[in-house]
Structure 1
């Protein structure tokens, strides 16, 4: 006998049901559950569903009753079914047999998205959680639609529409595919921003306060005029802060609306209530014992009678935007009071004057208990700890933590963006705290590959640089991963070659000689070989005519404490042997023979940049170096007047053998002095927009004009800067927008009378560069830049004019990836004519690139 069925809604809303065809059924009677069958299942196991219902054979059950209602509600909560029904299949005395009929929701098999680029589809599916096998519910469709519409509205697409449809998929049982059609439309821009109620501040001042919400202007490129609700809400807070800076403490935004003036344009209408202007009254300090009222007032920098500035007051208490700011919170935290708290309290606001009480709870003086580092898989602990300014047992000092982060970032072994100090186990009662530095290793060894055009052909560079090397593990086979690393030493091999020259160099440095003090030891070996090349005679170099330079140098650099501990003083001594074989440089009038150079270099540098080596955001970095040889002409007893007189006669008589003999005597030991200056300053302008300002200067001089200027150590300006380590100690100076070394003036060979480019003896350069990071993630740091540059080189100091410069402008892109190093490309336009005799008009557009591979 089959009885009538009761649907879920019937059991849920009715307490008694009368069935005329079933006189044996009694409404609300308690039965014994004798059997339960689950029907309609397609993908679920029947026993699993029975177990989930909680119904057991033999249990008492009221039909209809609370037990069945609870089961229905429980199953509905799973959102896996579209219909749930109970049937009475049989009644035998006090026993009842039930059937649970379920209609399952369809399963998602495939999603097709139209209206977006294919590469964006995986991101949409992930964020909307549209996985294969997921049950299709009304809430899933509604949530997906809302998510996508909000996603595009946040990007300024206020007219974006999303339509979602499902269709049966015959691939499997009870499955459906989904089609999402996105029409993002065009971005809605702001036509105008209208203010109401502002009398004290002009519309222009208020528009300027809206940092990210700007009205449409044809000249606006940096800040776009699209409407983004999230940015707009933040700007309304900034608007109120603008009033607070001017003394209007009670200012508020009464209402804000937008009115569509077209499909793509809206007007913003903002109504403000300014309130009265206030001034600071008495400012009293309460609770301070470590610092006097006078010291506190000096740091606060606010006094009675000043216009009330709520924003400035908050910053002077604690500036969240600058962790190293000169504020009251850092005043305490830099002196051991980690648990201090400082709160400004308004005591009275009579007429237009507000009295404040700065309440200080100093807490107990805090000391560091444990200092640990985590995440250094390659770098040894001692390399990290020697750079830290924080030691166990020291008084807590926030500025020491910030400085330690900077020093670790400057090592180049770790991702500077991910160096995180973690305050652990703070104990205000005992005044102790643990400090843990979390680090993420980055590639510190490098395979360098560079290419460029200059110096008579293609320039190629191959270099191996291991900047976290470990000499002590050279004979430890287990330490080769792929080379022994972890002790912070630098070991570099470099090969640079073109058709006209070859360069080989080896360099080793130990940053902590002896392991106890920051004294850097450096030693290098190098050899260069130049082949004669005259582009006006032959397009091939003559390898039978060469000169080579063999050099060795050693130096020490020490970090000093005065004027501050950002300074480093370096000393080095180097020797070079110049060997000529049928090769004449022009300034030297001998083509066969040797010349020697021994020089001492003194350098003073200050590196105080912040934000990491890849993308500095603040601070400065400058270096002054001076290189001197002994003044041999003062004590070698040579009569240079006679040598010059004999040389003039030999030149007039074209006696080449005599010319070579005289010059070999004059330049057997080179004498010169050389001064270089380079400075970089980094300033964060807005958000992450950074201005890099650069200035450079170099001068090569001689002690005795009768000896003459040496042809080495010269300055070659222009191009991409490739070849910095090439040849004869020359400085290859980057100046984009011009061909390589094309801003180096020519001189006349006194013997042949030909024009030769033998390098300048003085140069200057200025640069402005705007940088903005697109991403600074560990996997890839990318930033764009725009630059203005100017500079020039000169043959002598008499002709030097710092304002006679060659100008350029352009844009570029830099990408740093641990797997490849720094990749870059610049497009520069040179506004002036270079020194190439064949050049006509401005240099025009030039492309420059760098390639570095790192692992």
Structure 2
């Protein structure tokens, strides 16, 4: 039995072995019969190439990229085949590549390159976010039509979108991407992408707990974490969302806080994020504080240009001071403040571009640390080439005259920073993207080049302004060309659509309501003669004011008040006290013509008045680069406008005019009485006055891009001759949005939000006023297409008829919030909601909420 079993087993094994051999023989025979195989290592002459599978490319393009040509020798199979396949894969255009032998004729071989093209993106659909954000998201993620849809592309897109929302605090974000065949195909490989985004809830920080801290309190350490905040009721200005990158930066800030207080060796042992639920996490941070240290000797090594005493004064630290590593580093070099008072800037501002300053800890004994500040001054650097790029409309000379860096000058970082400011203040370029590119720096030769890369933006504006005041709705239409070229005004080829590029300003303006019309024209040349920054300006205007007809409710054009005026001015940039100052002079003339225009303001209804005036103004503006949203600096001006003192030489006794027969009349009772309209006509036919105004704004960067604007204004209108009195022209009207600044009687409309327009001055206006304001601003975007920022404000002001009544602290107060949008084509647009806490004159209730629409004006 055992022998039979062994024989049976052997027979079975033999049959299986023979079966396997038979299968191998059949497979080999089948394989050798297929056209897809090549005789090993045979050399052929390439007789022809066919390409199959391409849809968006032509066959010849693929063949050309292989490098093969008909008639060349080719070994099949061989390295030439594998090299071509590698080349084609490298194009990232195909998802499959094969090379087949189609036939052999003698020593010629014919090949087929079969490819499958990668899918092409035809359309993108995004779900899970607001529709208005979809276009921006598609642009950010680079989901352009025609993009090749590879596995890597899909993975990178998913990763980008997931990380994008995690950075915004949505740690539970899930992104799902599917591709489907396009139903409106141009080619068979076009696909649609469907991106489904589920951001989930924002993850908030519940508690931040510190362990191991004995010298610094939990409260102080939490405060040092600028971006990661635990939930606190009522704190709306900083949300408690958790963003991993911000958290890592805040951990560094915690250590910096220790270094600022002498604890050089402080370190974080562990930081643990504990998820409480889908919406909340807690953070535990364990610290090792180490010992407290003090500064020992601080020696300067290698300095020849500046003495130890000079460098020591800038450093501001001495032996025995508590160690502050953060302050020490910032006094050496502070990259957050390009114009900071640092040792690095001292060298950089005086030609030492190639200087190197390295603080080195040389000794740490007990609790005292000694330092050496090692300085390699290098060779003085001079500008060899200074260029600009990116200006397509603005002529080079307009830019070059603003540059503070010139070929042959000693390098100065301060002058580079100032140049960036001056170019930004022109208003022709995007101030956020001005980039000074250092090039061809040669430490051996002591030379350096610099190119200012600019991005032009629209500088001309269509002005559309609206508001209520002066008895009704006031509308303004204007054209402002802020980069005009008057020399090309007769050159038809330069109209694109108007001559541009020379930095001049030309404005045409029409302002009107039912009761007045104003036409004005102005022109400004900022560099008269092109040699020095002497600004020439001129303007002409005409205003028609009509009386209200109570019967018809419309304007009575038989009762009118016409003003015709012209102004010529010169302004010069000063060099002392510094070149941020400007002194300007202006001569102006207005002719007032009253026809049957009787009001309480003008006691003579028929007559005329002349206003010859000279204005001198001193101003200073050193605000930072962006004039729309300054991050720092200040701007202020003080002006004096005055007429000639006619009373000194015309020998008229204005106090006794009523007794002069020439200025008397017989009334209905046959009595001799003063002819008041005639007296006023005499008083005001030549306006005699002086007018003092001051305004100032200071911009303080609080944190990040949060800016505090502090403003002060004051104005006073006075008379040389008390008997002649203060003129009824040139007065101040306080309250509202400040719009309606038409030229009627030379008035100044002063904004004070939260109150109706001009409601805080009497019907005849005020002769003195003051205003104080605080405004917090934060930008939403500062792109050249549109700059948008939000604001909150508190302000107060007061206006009085005489200086004897003036009390600068008896203010009408208000507070509110608003938003501003600056678009190059339309200027500044905005809306404010202001609450007036005090009643307007004549009422007992607070003014309450007022809405102010702002078009073409800033507060």
User: TM-score band, normalised by the shorter chain?
Assistant: 0.7 to 0.9
The one of 18, 24, 45 aligned to 1:19: 24
Greater mean alpha carbon deviation, residues 396-405 or residues 685-694 = 396-405
Alignment of 1:599 with 2:637, yes or no, is: no
SS of the residue aligned with 1:766?
strand
| 2:9 corresponding residue in structure 1 | none
| 1:414 corresponding residue in structure 2 | 429
Go from structure 1 to structure 2 and tell me whether the alpha carbon gap of 1:452 and 1:54 turns closer, same or farther (over 3 Å shift). same
Task: Report if the CA contact (8 A) 1:651-1:659 is conserved.
Answer: no
Provide the C-alpha distance between the structure 2 equivalents of 1:648 and 1:452, rounded to a whole number of angstroms. 44
Go from structure 1 to structure 2 and tell me whether the alpha carbon gap of 1:187 and 1:743 turns closer, same or farther (over 3 Å shift). same
Provide the C-alpha distance between the structure 2 equivalents of 1:46 and 1:528, rounded to a whole number of angstroms. 75
Alignment of 1:453 with 2:468, yes or no, is: yes
Go from structure 1 to structure 2 and tell me whether the alpha carbon gap of 1:767 and 1:22 turns closer, same or farther (over 3 Å shift). closer
Provide the C-alpha distance between the structure 2 equivalents of 1:791 and 1:693, rounded to a whole number of angstroms. 14
SS of the residue aligned with 1:759?
coil
Task: Report if the CA contact (8 A) 1:38-1:46 is conserved.
Answer: no
SS of the residue aligned with 1:377?
coil
Go from structure 1 to structure 2 and tell me whether the alpha carbon gap of 1:252 and 1:666 turns closer, same or farther (over 3 Å shift). same
Q: Tell me the CA shift for residue 787 of structure 1.
A: 1.2
| 2:729 corresponding residue in structure 1 | 712
1:315-354 superposed matches below 5 A: 315-354=330-369
Task: Report if the CA contact (8 A) 2:638-2:693 is conserved.
Answer: yes
Task: Report if the CA contact (8 A) 1:33-1:96 is conserved.
Answer: no
Alignment of 1:116 with 2:129, yes or no, is: yes
1:537-548 superposed matches below 5 A: 539-548=553-562
Provide the C-alpha distance between the structure 1 equivalents of 2:745 and 2:840, rounded to a whole number of angstroms. 23
Provide the C-alpha distance between the structure 1 equivalents of 2:148 and 2:497, rounded to a whole number of angstroms. 50
The one of 758, 765, 789 aligned to 1:783: 789
| 1:298 corresponding residue in structure 2 | 313
Greater mean alpha carbon deviation, residues 632-641 or residues 426-435 = 632-641
Greater mean alpha carbon deviation, residues 112-121 or residues 35-44 = 35-44
Q: Which whole-Å deviations, capped at 9, do the CAs of 1:597-643 have from their partners, x for residues lacking one?
A: 32222211111111221111111111111122233223322223322
| 2:766 corresponding residue in structure 1 | 760
Provide the C-alpha distance between the structure 2 equivalents of 1:99 and 1:417, rounded to a whole number of angstroms. 55
| 2:292 corresponding residue in structure 1 | 277
Go from structure 1 to structure 2 and tell me whether the alpha carbon gap of 1:239 and 1:493 turns closer, same or farther (over 3 Å shift). same
Q: Tell me the CA shift for residue 136 of structure 1.
A: 6.1
Go from structure 1 to structure 2 and tell me whether the alpha carbon gap of 1:475 and 1:266 turns closer, same or farther (over 3 Å shift). same
| 1:843 corresponding residue in structure 2 | 847
Task: Report if the CA contact (8 A) 2:665-2:673 is conserved.
Answer: no
Provide the C-alpha distance between the structure 2 equivalents of 1:781 and 1:760, rounded to a whole number of angstroms. 36
Go from structure 1 to structure 2 and tell me whether the alpha carbon gap of 1:340 and 1:704 turns closer, same or farther (over 3 Å shift). same
TM-score (norm 2): 0.86
Q: Which whole-Å deviations, capped at 9, do the CAs of 1:760-818 have from their partners, x for residues lacking one?
A: 11111111111111111222211111111211211111221111111111222212222
Go from structure 1 to structure 2 and tell me whether the alpha carbon gap of 1:364 and 1:457 turns closer, same or farther (over 3 Å shift). same
Task: Report if the CA contact (8 A) 1:33-1:95 is conserved.
Answer: no
Go from structure 1 to structure 2 and tell me whether the alpha carbon gap of 1:553 and 1:85 turns closer, same or farther (over 3 Å shift). closer
Q: Tell me the CA shift for residue 320 of structure 1.
A: 0.2
Go from structure 1 to structure 2 and tell me whether the alpha carbon gap of 1:514 and 1:206 turns closer, same or farther (over 3 Å shift). same
Alignment of 1:390 with 2:405, yes or no, is: yes
Task: Report if the CA contact (8 A) 2:119-2:191 is conserved.
Answer: yes
Provide the C-alpha distance between the structure 2 equivalents of 1:411 and 1:83, rounded to a whole number of angstroms. 56
Go from structure 1 to structure 2 and tell me whether the alpha carbon gap of 1:129 and 1:37 turns closer, same or farther (over 3 Å shift). farther
Alignment of 1:797 with 2:803, yes or no, is: yes
Q: Which whole-Å deviations, capped at 9, do the CAs of 1:515-572 have from their partners, x for residues lacking one?
A: 333222333322222212377x763232211222222332322222222222222222
SS of the residue aligned with 1:614?
coil
Task: Report if the CA contact (8 A) 1:38-1:102 is conserved.
Answer: no
Alignment of 1:658 with 2:675, yes or no, is: yes
Q: Tell me the CA shift for residue 379 of structure 1.
A: 3.0
Alignment of 1:551 with 2:549, yes or no, is: no
Provide the C-alpha distance between the structure 2 equivalents of 1:645 and 1:669, rounded to a whole number of angstroms. 21
Provide the C-alpha distance between the structure 2 equivalents of 1:426 and 1:446, rounded to a whole number of angstroms. 41
Q: Tell me the CA shift for residue 514 of structure 1.
A: 3.4
Provide the C-alpha distance between the structure 2 equivalents of 1:254 and 1:141, rounded to a whole number of angstroms. 38
Alignment of 1:616 with 2:623, yes or no, is: no
SS of the residue aligned with 1:822?
strand
The one of 469, 493, 497 aligned to 1:478: 493
Q: Which whole-Å deviations, capped at 9, do the CAs of 1:162-205 have from their partners, x for residues lacking one?
A: 33455677878677765443322111111111111111111111
SS of the residue aligned with 2:698?
strand
TM-score (norm 1): 0.86
Give the count of matched residue pairs.
Answer: 822
Go from structure 1 to structure 2 and tell me whether the alpha carbon gap of 1:558 and 1:175 turns closer, same or farther (over 3 Å shift). closer
1:635-714 superposed matches below 5 A: 635-644=649-658, 658-714=675-731
Alignment of 1:724 with 2:741, yes or no, is: yes
Q: Which whole-Å deviations, capped at 9, do the CAs of 1:349-391 have from their partners, x for residues lacking one?
A: 1111111111111111122222223333333333333322222
Greater mean alpha carbon deviation, residues 323-332 or residues 402-411 = 402-411
Provide the C-alpha distance between the structure 2 equivalents of 1:338 and 1:420, rounded to a whole number of angstroms. 18
Structure 2: unaligned runs, 5 residues or longer? 1-20
Greater mean alpha carbon deviation, residues 45-54 or residues 119-128 = 45-54
Go from structure 1 to structure 2 and tell me whether the alpha carbon gap of 1:107 and 1:19 turns closer, same or farther (over 3 Å shift). farther
Provide the C-alpha distance between the structure 2 equivalents of 1:193 and 1:174, rounded to a whole number of angstroms. 53
Provide the C-alpha distance between the structure 2 equivalents of 1:797 and 1:657, rounded to a whole number of angstroms. 28
SS of the residue aligned with 1:383?
helix
Provide the C-alpha distance between the structure 2 equivalents of 1:758 and 1:328, rounded to a whole number of angstroms. 59
Go from structure 1 to structure 2 and tell me whether the alpha carbon gap of 1:728 and 1:650 turns closer, same or farther (over 3 Å shift). farther
Q: Tell me the CA shift for residue 340 of structure 1.
A: 1.0
Q: Tell me the CA shift for residue 244 of structure 1.
A: 1.3
Go from structure 1 to structure 2 and tell me whether the alpha carbon gap of 1:129 and 1:290 turns closer, same or farther (over 3 Å shift). closer
Provide the C-alpha distance between the structure 1 equivalents of 2:96 and 2:524, rounded to a whole number of angstroms. 76
Go from structure 1 to structure 2 and tell me whether the alpha carbon gap of 1:87 and 1:591 turns closer, same or farther (over 3 Å shift). closer
Task: Report if the CA contact (8 A) 1:33-1:97 is conserved.
Answer: no
Structure 1: unaligned runs, 5 residues or longer? 1-15, 746-756
Go from structure 1 to structure 2 and tell me whether the alpha carbon gap of 1:291 and 1:556 turns closer, same or farther (over 3 Å shift). same
Q: Tell me the CA shift for residue 40 of structure 1.
A: 13
The one of 810, 814, 817 aligned to 1:808: 814
Provide the C-alpha distance between the structure 2 equivalents of 1:555 and 1:71, rounded to a whole number of angstroms. 75
| 1:5 corresponding residue in structure 2 | none
Q: Tell me the CA shift for residue 319 of structure 1.
A: 0.9
Task: Report if the CA contact (8 A) 1:587-1:710 is conserved.
Answer: no
Q: Tell me the CA shift for residue 141 of structure 1.
A: 4.7
Q: Tell me the CA shift for residue 122 of structure 1.
A: 4.9
Greater mean alpha carbon deviation, residues 514-523 or residues 611-620 = 514-523
Q: Tell me the CA shift for residue 427 of structure 1.
A: 1.8
The one of 150, 164, 167 aligned to 1:151: 164
Go from structure 1 to structure 2 and tell me whether the alpha carbon gap of 1:819 and 1:343 turns closer, same or farther (over 3 Å shift). same
Task: Report if the CA contact (8 A) 1:36-1:99 is conserved.
Answer: no
Alignment of 1:743 with 2:757, yes or no, is: no
